[in-house]
Amino acid sequence: MQLYSYADITLSSSFPFTDLLTAPREKKQTPYFTFHLLSMAPSEPASAEWIHHWCTPSGDISISLARLDNEYLLRFPSLADFVIDQSGCKVGAWPAPDTDEETLRHLLLDQVMPRVLSHKGRLVLHASAVCVDGQTLAFVGETGQGKSTLAASFHLSGYPLLTDDGLLIRIGNDCIKAIPGYQGLRLLPESIKALFKESSGCKSMASYSEKNRIILSDHRETEPMGLNALFVLDEPNVDDKTHTIKISLLSKRDACMELVRNSFQFDVSSHEQAKNLFAEASAVVARLPVFSLSYPRDFSCLPSVHDVVFKRFHLQPSKTFNCT
């Protein structure tokens, strides 16, 4: 079994996770999660055992959760089933016959693990994060809002990427800590073409998606960092022909609701988990500014988005970013 680093915990697995770093020596005696491939398919839940179905905008079921005795079943239809024990520390996978290794890695790292951490009472946001002159800035948004592209543009301007998606939040006595799940980028081909001079470091993210993983040459262990601000990505005004970029401070109430809406969730029927989620989100917005950020989804506008963010935090850009 190999031990890997994921966020602030270790993952023990005989299945290889090439996107993760090997756990440092001081962590090798304390694996927090174990992952394995199941030897047989899990039992099929009865209709009453299904807790929740997450659906795509078109209405198709993308993820389903069921309760099986003392375990949970997290299903990605036609892709894989994941069985999770009640403690959330053991995860077993039963991939569909056509599911390749890259797809299985993606499902575990980018879908299952954030939800399992949520099950264990942690706040995990759909957010990318970068480090700008010692300040950690996170961009929150649903899939397709452009947070990965925005984070990549900062990274290419010399402001290191901390995480693409799956940002773990820890509320400390002195500050709010941002804990990256792992470094790495997942981008659509048009973003890769616009941002990168060459795409030799790309590989498929999953069989069902057009996105590719970008292998970062400076992939390294990242420590928890103080979080300075959150930006909730808002849809641009399609009728605005002036390429207006808007940034505004959200009220505590609106900010809290945005964090809840853009968090990974597990058992949505659990009142305890819902209560904990609202408590965590409320504690974050009480101590951290949360902004709404709206800008045209045009690659040529990204340098201007940088400028707006820099001016808001009185920062001087150290490098000019240009799309290739």
Residue 103 predicted with pLDDT over 90: yes
Element (H, E) at 230: strand 225-234
Statement: the pTM of the whole predicted model exceeds 0.85: yes
Q: How many CB atoms lie within 10 A of CB 178?
A: 25
Q: In percent, how much of the chain has pLDDT > 90?
A: 61
Residues 38-68 pLDDT 10s? 999 999 999 989 999 999 888 999 999 999 8
pLDDT of residue 235: 82
Q: How confident is the model at residue 220 (pLDDT cuts 50, 70, 90)?
A: low
SS3 37: strand
Domain boundaries, the chain: 2-120, 124-312
* Cα–Cα distance measured from residue 175 to residue 225, given in angstroms and rounded to the nearest whole number: 9
The DSSP H or E segment spanning 132 is strand 127-132
SS3 for 185-216, per residue? EEECHHHHHHHCCCCCCEEECCCCCCCEEECC
pLDDT value at position 201? 67
Helix, strand, coil shares of the chain, percent, nearest 5, are 25, 35, 40
For the sheet containing 202-204, what is the strand order?
185-187, 212-214, 202-204
Average pLDDT value for residue range 116-137: 92
Q: What are phi and psi of 176, to 5 degrees?
A: -90, 125
How would residue 174 be classed by pLDDT, with cut points 50, 70 and 90?
Answer: confident
| Interval 194-213: pLDDT, tens | 998 766 568 888 999 999 98
Report pLDDT digits (tens) over 242-265: 678 999 999 999 999 999 999 999
Q: Looking at the domain covering 124-312, what would its CATH class be?
A: alpha beta
